[in-house]
Every structure is written in C-alpha cells, then in structure tokens.
Amino acid sequence: MAMVSHARDELDDSRIVAASLEDPDAFGELFRRHSPRLHAYVKRRLGLALADDLVSETFATAFRQRERFDGRAEFGAWLWGIASNLIAKQHRQETRMYRAFARTGVDPAEEDVADLASDRVSAAALGSRLAKSLASLSAQERSVILLLAWGGMSYAEIAATLNLPLGTVKAKIHRVRAKLRKTLPEETTDG
Amino acid sequence: MDELDALRHMRTALAQEEHPDRIALRTDWRGGAARPRRSLKIPVVSLAATAALVVGVVAVVPLRSDRGVTPGPGRSGAVIRQGDVLLVAAARAQEAPVGEYWHTKSVSGRIYAVGTSAADHYKVDSRQGSESWTDRSGKGRSAHIELADVPLTAQDERKWQAAGSPELVRIPAPEGAARSVYLDMEPPSVKDPGWRPAADRYYGLAPDQIAKLPTEPEALENALLNLRGRWQAYSSKTGKEPIRALRGQQRVRALSDVAATLLSTAPAPPTVRAAVFRMLATQPGVRAEGRATDPLGRTGTVISLPLETTVPLGLYTAPKQLGTYRRQLVISPDTGRLLAILDLVATPPRGSRKLPTGDDGESRSLKARNMPDRFHRPGELASYQVFEVTEWTDTEPPR
C-alpha cells in the first residue's frame, strides 16, 4: 500500500537517518513512511488515545537517538523495537484492558471508535475469550504473537524487532498459540 | 478459524491506517524538530464488572485523551492493512443507511479490439447501462440506459480520431455467425428511458429471501451453499445442483459470483452485505492487492479471486471464449461498497472451437482472430461491471 511500498529509487531509510543528522527536518520523511502502520498497530494494542501518545514518544525517542542507529538493522525494526519497549511499559494498562474486555464483553480499546460498534458485536464473543488469555501473557509473549497477528510481521522481522534469536521467536509463538487455542471453542469445520 | 485468525479478527476497527498528516496533527509531530511534549498520560480503564479491583473507578470510562475529542479513524485518506480490507469494508457496509427503495445504477462493458493487428488497432469499450428501483415488497422498475461505445483510453481515442472518428466501427463477429458487426460510437439521442416493471431474482433468490439471509458469515455461507443453479461455466448437463456439490475453485467461484451480486445489484440489507464481506474474507485464495481505479475513475482496493476463466456461469451450453480470465473486485473499504467487477485477460485467446449449429442452421465456430480480446495482453481489461449507485434510499423512483 502507498505508505509501505515507496518506490525503490527513493532514498532508503538509513540514508535519511544519516541526512537528518545535518538536517533534522529530513526525519519527517521517516514519520511519513512509518507512522501509519506503526500507529495502526499501537492503536490495536492500546486504544486510540494512548496510541497517539505512544507513537509520538516513539518517534521522539528515535529522533533523539538517531545517532545510535548504525544501519545494521532495518530502520523499521529499530523503530518498532523502540515502540515495543514503550508498549511493554504499558503492560499493566494493556492487561487491564484485556481483563475488562474478558469480564464485560466490551472492549475498552474500541470505545473511541463508537461508529464501528457493529464490528465489535460479531467479534466480541471470540474476542473476549482471547482477551482473557492475552491478559495472562508476559510482555514479550504478547509482543511476539501480536507483531505476528496484528503487525503482519514475519518471524524474522519479529526477531529483528525484539532482538531475539529466530528460534526463540518460533518457540514462543508456538507456545502462545497453544495457549490461545485452548480458550477457543472446539473447531467446527464442514467440508 | 484457528487462534491466529481469531486474533486477526479482533479489534479490526482499530486496524485502519491513517494518513501520516492526520497522525502528525494529533501527535503534535513537527518534523524532525519535534520534542516529546509530555510524558505519556494513562487514560483510565475500568473494570465495570469488578470495580473493587481498581481503586476509585466505578463505570466504564471510554478511552479519551485529555485533549478532548479525538477524531476517529479517518474516512478520508485512510489506508488500511491489506488483510483487514474486507473486514473494514464489512464494518462500513453494516452502517449504511436503509430506506424504502433499493436503487442501483450500473454499467457493463466489454472491450473490443478494432483493427487488423496487435501493432495497429485501438480498443473500444462497448457499454450498456441499467437502472433499477425495488421496493420493500420486491416489486420494482428497471430501465435500460443507452450509452455510446467509447474508445477505452486517451490513446485509443487518438487512433479512433485518426481513423476519421467513424460513428460505426466494424469488428469481426465473435461467434462467426455474421461476417462482421458494428459498434455504435454515436452518442444516443435522449429518449424515453422506458421504465418497465421488474421482479428480479438474484441467483434464484427473491428480494424477500435476500432480506432474510443470515447475517453471520458462517451461517450465510451455509445458506448460500444450498443455492441450486447451473454452476458450471458451461456444461452438456443442464441439471441444477447446489453449490455444496462443487469442490475447490469451482465452489469459490460460484460463491464469489453470488457474493458479488449480493454486494451490488441485489437488494441486500446492510447486515447481509457486511456478512458477505466477512464471508469473502474467509474464502481460500481471496486476497487484497492494493489500490486501483475503477472504470468510473473512483479509487478502491482490489480484491482478487483465485480463479481463472470467468465465463458467466450457467448461461451457455458452450464456452464462448478462447482465452482465460481472472476476476477482481474493486471495493471501497471506506464506504463498504463494491465499486466494480473486472475481468482481466489471463491468457489471450488462441485457436478455435466449433459451436453448436445456430438457429439458422449454419455452422458456427469460435476463432481467436474474431475474438474481441484477440490483441489483448495478459492483465488487460476484457470486460467489467461498474456500480455507480447501490443504495437504500427514501427518494421516490421516477414515474
């Protein structure tokens, strides 16, 4: 989509970071490229209001620390890594939202998007079950599974983002999926 | 649905990507010079059912920032994650207003090559329009809209003009019965649209049956699988069978044909439309593929179907195409509407095939050199349907 598939002949991210050391405004291009997807992901984890703050904080941190970005990893992975750390700091807050969803059947994260209430209804039944197990996960387990399901990342991208060995990512996803599976109703498939 | 799919269906309302300018506005991002304007403020979340666990919180407090009203995910300029396009469209479709009348206006077009070689030809879009109004009882009126055939692109237009802008252009008769046929490039003189009473059925479904279709995707699919019809593109058998009797791609194809009708011309209530989008999202191989412009110039997201060869189902006893085709739906996730159905050439026509003898007793055959798409390249548009209006309205239909 437009935001993630910019043309190859544009400057790549690490060059922009380098350029921004001289010209801070150049960093704005990275915001343009990366904020929509990151923001959508954070919204999904923490709700709209907190997402605005957290994305702002993520880019501010990235900007402050841009000299430390050495270009060995993708800029996207580095940025999402910063965001993941900030999200982890909201672990209890996130847990409370999942618990509230599990207990009441109403997802507080979606409260701000009242015009999409209809969407909630159909998803709520499974969603509140999932929320219950999401509430029980550690910060890292949550990040691993949600980067996969909501971030749309590959195992390798998750490993780069969270700075974990690939094998660890696979093992964690396997474990978390098994945990989530138990909370769902028995599969009913017809041919 | 496995646990990963279930997760992907959770909080889809929040999965919508917004334009970076909007995000910049809300986060006070000011280019590289931005500073964190304050520490993170934690909104209060309550546990309505067990308030005792959280000190001082009693009611469900919606997440609001301290800046007052936060704009919801943008309806304009929003970009949506691909996997969620159909689910977002479903949410939008469900919110569409209802009214006394179901009103549709659509154009179908087929693209014909005019000329004698791949190097020297132009393409003409031969169009037919129709408009219909259906009331709640299922009674309706419909009209045929005369439309001029037009050059497909600006380049085709220049070539047509270079040929002297003929009002009638000659093309080979695709089925070989006549020597040649003509496309009419003359704008039609305005005349009585000729409203006729109509009581249309949609794959055998009457409007009252459509109104009662299930609104959950699994239940809807189950109901549609019972639809009996001639679901083979062409077949010597003429019997009807339920979609359930089909397997694999054939089943996806029949279901997606019915789905596209329910999303376009059929008088389906918003809840059923939403379920159709959700059902499509669960079909194997159905994928969102980025942005495209429909034949009316509107921008939407392409949903591609995992199918080749899309001869209309059930109409013919013999195949009337020599190429293969793939089908795309262009949807607008923002409005939850199906904008257009596009059939693109997958492999251009080749060879020939005998057809059953026509009514006049003359033998007929299909030949690649007579086909409308004989000079098409893979990926080029062969035919389309575009839905200009599909809405419930309280406006009275024309008399």
From the list B63, B57, B88, the residue with the least C-alpha distance to A94 is B63
Burial bucket for residue A155 (CB in 10 Å: 0-12, 13-18, 19+)? middle
Q: Write out residues 158-217 of B within 8 Å (CB-CB) of A.
A: 216
Per-residue pLDDT, B20: 83
3-state secondary structure at position B286:
coil
Mutate to test the interface with B, among A17, A37, A89, A118 (most CBs of B within 10 A): A118
pLDDT in the model for residue B31: 54
Residues A25, B81: C-beta atoms closer than 8 Å: no
Half-sphere exposure of B154 (CA within 13 A, CB side): 0
Give how far Cα B273 sits from Cα of A188, B227, B321, Å: 24, 17, 31
Query: Burial of B214 by CB count in 10 Å (0-12 exposed, 13-18 middle, 19+ buried)?
Result: middle
Q: Identify all chain A residues contacting B90, using CB atoms and an 8 Å cutoff.
A: 119
In order along its 399 residues, chain B shows pLDDT tens digits of: 688 888 988 888 888 888 888 888 877 776 544 444 434 444 443 333 233 233 222 222 222 222 222 223 333 333 445 557 898 899 999 989 999 999 999 999 999 999 989 889 999 999 988 999 999 888 888 888 888 899 999 999 999 999 999 988 888 877 665 566 788 888 877 666 678 887 788 888 989 999 999 999 999 999 999 998 878 766 666 678 899 988 888 888 889 999 999 999 999 999 999 999 999 998 888 888 888 889 999 999 999 887 766 555 554 545 677 888 888 999 998 899 999 999 998 888 888 877 766 556 666 778 888 888 999 998 899 999 999 999 999 998 887
Please report the pLDDT score of residue A71 as a whole number. Answer: 76
Q: ∠ CA B169-B380-B93 to the nearest 5 degrees?
A: 110
Query: Which pLDDT score, from 0 to 100, does residue B114 have?
Result: 93
Q: CA angle at residue B108 from B102 to B110, to 5 degrees? A: 170
Note whether B316 and B326 are within 8 A (CB). no
Residue B260 Cα distances to A37, A134, B213, B345, angstroms: 29, 36, 15, 19
The span from the CA of A132 to the CA of A107, in Å, is 11
**Are residues A50 and B48, on separate chains, in Cβ contact within 8 Å?**
no
Q: How many helices (H) and strands (E) does chain B have?
A: 8, 18
- Cross-strand bridge partners of residue B198: B140
Q: What is the ipTM of this complex?
A: 0.85
Do residues B394 and B133 make contact, with C-beta atoms less than 8 angstroms apart? no
The pLDDT, as a whole number, for residue B54 is 30
Whether A103 and B48 lie within 8 Å, measured CB to CB: yes
Q: What string of H, E and C letters represents the secondary structure of A13-48?
A: HHHHHHHHHHCHHHHHHHHHHHHHHHHHHHHHHHCH
% pLDDT > 70, chain A:
84
Of residues B389 and A74, the one with the higher pLDDT is B389
Residues of B in contact with A112 (CB under 8 A): 62-64, 70, 72
* Distances in whole angstroms, Cα of residue A81 to Cα of each of A48, A70, A166, B209, B263: 20, 14, 15, 52, 41
Question: Given this model, what pLDDT does residue B71 score?
Answer: 29
The model carries a pTM of: 0.56
Whether the CB of A43 is below 8 Å from some CB of chain B: the reply is yes
Contact assessment for residue A150 and residue B102, using Cβ atoms and an 8 Å cutoff: no
3-class state of residue B348 by DSSP:
coil
Between CA A152 and CA B187 the distance in angstroms is 50
DSSP-derived letter for residue B398 is P
Per-residue pLDDT band at A145 (split at 50, 70, 90): very high
